[in-house]
């Protein structure tokens, strides 16, 4: 049982890792579009974020997987690839709003000081604004990362055999609640490690304390 759950845990870790790897940078670019002075781009991004945050992730996964077939008459994508695409698009929307809040909270004086020092816009953002934004947004990002650990269980909706799916199958076969308890322990330990790592990162950025 533990071996099977361990295999499922590896799949959950893969979903978690790949989602963060792609959604964090994508969320930053989406936030730029959200703050764009171009009304068309800004409104398109606002609609995208509204849809991603206003509909269940489970439904989004089903659309990503079944949509190409029912809408465009194309073959369905690989299940795991569909899961990663669905998770990345969903979490990028949340991260985009977190980035936007952090960037817009920066005092105008920071930009003015950078201009006086001769920095261009790219240098100002990368060397002055972004490091401060990362420090400010770490707490809400940590909350989303912890939520992501638990959301990996939603991959079952398109039959990706992550840990929760395997736990459910084993529990059904053995007619026992033990697999669920074991899965709960796995999730808790995973979340504990993630929370500890994020706390360590927060302390590293708390250089004025």
Instruction: Determine the CATH number of domain 2-205.
Output: 1.10.3720.10
d(CA 137, CA 141): 6
Determine how many CB atoms are found less than 10 A away from the CB of residue 107. Answer: 9
CA torsion through residues 141, 146, 147, 153, sign: positive
Quote the CA–CA distance of 76 and 145 in Å, as a whole number.
Answer: 28
For 6, half-sphere exposure in the C-beta direction (CA atoms, 13 angstrom radius) is 3
Helices (H), 73-129: 79-104, 108-116, 121-123
DSSP for residue 157: G
pLDDT tens digits for the chain (209 residues)?
656 677 778 888 999 999 999 999 999 999 999 999 999 999 999 999 999 999 999 999 999 999 888 887 778 778 899 999 999 999 999 999 999 999 888 888 878 888 888 888 888 888 888 888 888 888 899 999 999 988 998 888 887 877 777 787 777 777 778 878 888 888 888 889 988 888 888 777 765 55
DSSP secondary structure letter of residue 77? P
Global confidence as pTM: 0.87
CB 61 within 8 A of CB 20: no
């Amino acid at each position: 049982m533990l071996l099977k759950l361990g295999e499922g845990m590896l799949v959950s870790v893969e979903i978690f890792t790949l989602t963060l790897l792609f959604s964090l940078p994508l969320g930053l670019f989406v936030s730029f579009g959200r703050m764009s002075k171009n009304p068309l781009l800004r409104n398109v991004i606002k609609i995208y974020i509204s849809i991603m945050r206003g509909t269940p992730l489970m439904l989004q996964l089903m659309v990503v997987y079944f949509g190409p077939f029912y809408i465009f008459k194309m073959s369905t994508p690989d299940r795991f690839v569909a899961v990663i695409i669905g998770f990345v698009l969903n979490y990028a929307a949340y991260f985009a709003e977190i980035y936007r809040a952090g960037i817009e909270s920066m005092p105008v004086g920071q930009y003015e000081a950078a201009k006086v020092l001769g920095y261009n816009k790219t240098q100002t953002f990368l060397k002055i604004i972004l490091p401060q934004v990362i420090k400010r947004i770490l707490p809400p990002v940590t909350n989303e990362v912890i939520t992501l650990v638990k959301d990996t269980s939603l991959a079952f909706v398109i039959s990706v055999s992550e840990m929760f799916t395997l736990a459910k199958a084993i529990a059904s076969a053995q007619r026992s609640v033990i697999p669920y308890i074991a899965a709960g322990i796995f999730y808790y330990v995973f979340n504990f490690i993630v929370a500890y790592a994020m706390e360590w990162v927060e302390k590293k950025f708390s250089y004025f304390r």
